[in-house]
């Protein structure tokens, strides 16, 4: 990561992760496609459970981001003992997170769904779904952490295999468990949840094997699981803002579901479908981010600012192309996309306007995503958090609520591109600040090494 030309390095690391992210998006969509064949109420139940799933992913991935940044920086600084502590304490934190969500699933599922709806079919399916994905959440937390360990050391091909395994197993099991095939009982919505956790557990087991047998840069051990509080503090200095940033998405989704339910449950189903579909656009960009963060972190530790800047420029160019392509698809083919979910005439009428209006935000989001990951790679994760708070809590939800007062559902969808403008403005302001404080001084050191050495000696 410190010597190979940036363009082939970034592509070689990003492509496997982008493929695996696309497969992750595929299994999310396939999951909902099968559920939609049960009923629109079943699709709504899964959509209402999404904030909890998103919160689990936020905690799992956010902790992994913190481990990723610390581990890659430690390797760049040749501090191999610190890299091992980061890896082992990451697994310890994943287990602690899992315990919290098991308790949430056991004691909070019913209250969560009763706060959103009184429809008995939605309640029955949603509570069953939420309990399964939370009580058996060991797979998702450990899978995410093990995948991040492989990414941190540049082994993105193995990371891709890990994610592909879980996604493929989920896709294969969905129809079997949802509809009852090969002599198995018909489980309905609960079958979708069961397929999800089985895939996650399979990926988790493969992740342990890959890290133990193929990841020579780190050493996992039971003894290493003992908490090292200084390392945990360093992990969460980046991880907590990332967790909070993604958790805000759960709050946003819950609030949007509440606003949309005041119009019709079909609008909530449309919003759930949008989130599944937009993952085909955002997941490749997130895969690009996952490749970009360790490259920037490593070269930050190695004091190579030119390589950091080139990585940022290339990542922005690639992300922009992906987002423009996604915008074109949402604008040209909204009916075909909704047709995948057995959309009713009412759902088609609402969804066509929703997909076209929300997708305008794609034209702005790519820069915000890349810049946010730069903050995380440089240990300034709190800036990403403030951007996310500004976008989702201070702009999106208030605007959606204000637009809903008009009684026109179509206006609510415009809150997304409006909020993205706020996000872009904050991202650029913070990036200029980080550039002046961190990158610009490093450029001075690189161009005048004798001056830097003199300062160090003094």
- Segment 389-415, tens digit of pLDDT: 899 889 999 999 999 999 899 899 999
Separation of alpha carbons 416 and 122, rounded Å: 27
N-term to C-term CA, the chain: 31
Separation of alpha carbons 390 and 397, rounded Å: 10
| Sign, Cα dihedral of 14, 202, 197, 384 | negative
- Tell me, what's the pLDDT at 455? 40
Q: Is 455 a member of any domain?
A: no
Predicted confidence (pLDDT) per residue in 196-226, tens digit: 999 999 999 999 999 888 888 888 878 777 8
Q: Is 453 a member of any domain?
A: no
Q: Is 457 a member of any domain?
A: no
Alpha helices in 187-304 (DSSP H): 189-214, 229-261, 265-301
Give phi and psi for 326, each to the nearest 5: -65, -40
Q: How many domains does the chain have?
A: 1
Separation of alpha carbons 195 and 173, rounded Å: 5
Q: Is 190 a member of any domain?
A: yes
The pair of structure tokens assigned to 315 is 């990542």
pTM: 0.72
Residue 189 CB partners (closer than 8 Å, separation 6+) = 35, 38, 42, 45, 46, 125, 126, 128, 129, 178
Q: Is 48 a member of any domain?
A: yes
Residue 224: DSSP 8-state: G
- Tell me, what's the pLDDT at 450? 53
Predicted confidence (pLDDT) per residue in 226-245, tens digit: 888 888 888 888 788 778 77
Separation of alpha carbons 330 and 419, rounded Å: 19
Q: Which residue has the tokens 């001056």?
A: 451
Q: Is 400 a member of any domain?
A: yes
The residues of the chain scoring below 70 in pLDDT are 1-2, 20, 24, 446-458
Residue 288 CB partners (closer than 8 Å, separation 6+) = 10, 14, 17, 18, 315, 318, 319, 322, 370
Q: Is 301 a member of any domain?
A: yes
Q: Is 456 a member of any domain?
A: no
Q: Are 36 and 179 in contact (CB under 8 A)?
A: no
Range of the domain at 326: 6-447
Q: What is the DSSP string of 385-447?
A: HHHHIIIIIIIIHHHHHHHHTTT-HHHHHTHHHHHHHHHHHHHHHHHHHHIIIIIHHHHHHHH
């Amino acid at each position: 990561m410190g010597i190979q030309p940036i363009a082939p390095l970034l592509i070689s690391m990003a492509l496997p992760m982008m493929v695996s992210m696309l497969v992750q998006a595929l299994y999310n969509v396939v999951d909902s496609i099968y559920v939609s064949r049960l009923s629109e109420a079943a699709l709504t139940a899964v959509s209402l459970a999404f904030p909890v799933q998103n919160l689990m992913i936020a905690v799992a991935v956010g902790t992994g981001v913190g481990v990723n940044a610390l581990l890659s920086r430690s390797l760049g600084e040749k501090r191999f003992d610190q890299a091992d502590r980061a890896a082992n304490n990451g697994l310890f934190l994943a287990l602690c997170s899992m315990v919290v969500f098991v308790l949430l699933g056991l004691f909070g599922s019913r209250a969560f769904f009763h706060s959103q709806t009184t429809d008995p079919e939605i309640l029955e399916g949603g509570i069953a779904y939420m309990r399964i994905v939370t009580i058996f959440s060991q797979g998702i937390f450990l899978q995410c952490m093990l995948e991040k360990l492989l990414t941190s050391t540049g082994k993105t091909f193995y990371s891709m295999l890990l994610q592909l395994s879980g996604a493929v197993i989920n896709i294969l099991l969905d129809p079997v468990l949802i509809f009852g095939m090969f002599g198995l009982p018909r489980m309905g919505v609960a079958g979708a949840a069961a397929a999800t956790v089985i895939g996650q557990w399979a990926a988790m087991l493969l992740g342990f094997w890959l890290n133990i047998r193929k990841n020579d840069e780190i050493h996992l051990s039971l003894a290493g699981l003992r908490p090292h509080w200084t390392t945990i503090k360093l992990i969460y200095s980046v991880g907590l803002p990332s967790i909070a940033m993604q958790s805000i998405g759960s709050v946003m989704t819950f609030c949007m579901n509440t606003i949309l339910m005041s119009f019709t449950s079909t609008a909530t189903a449309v919003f759930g479908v949008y989130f599944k579909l937009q993952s085909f656009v955002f997941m490749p960009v997130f895969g690009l981010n996952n490749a970009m963060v360790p490259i920037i972190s490593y070269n930050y530790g190695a004091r190579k600012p030119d390589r950091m800047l080139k990585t940022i420029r290339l990542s922005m160019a690639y992300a922009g192309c992906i987002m423009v392509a996604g915008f074109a698809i949402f604008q040209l083919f909204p009916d075909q996309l909704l047709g995948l979910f057995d959309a009713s005439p009412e759902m088609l009428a609402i969804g066509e306007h929703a997909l076209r209006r929300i997708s305008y935000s794609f034209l702005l989001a790519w820069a915000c995503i890349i810049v946010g990951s730069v903050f995380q790679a440089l240990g300034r994760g709190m800036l990403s958090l403030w951007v996310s708070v500004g976008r989702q809590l201070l702009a999106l939800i208030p605007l959606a609520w204000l637009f809903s007062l008009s009684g026109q559902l179509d206006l609510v969808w415009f809150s997304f591109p409006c909020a993205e403008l706020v996000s872009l403005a904050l991202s650029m302001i913070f990036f200029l600040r980080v550039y002046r404080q961190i990158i610009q001084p490093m450029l001075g050191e690189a161009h005048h090494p004798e001056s830097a050495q003199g300062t160090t000696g003094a």
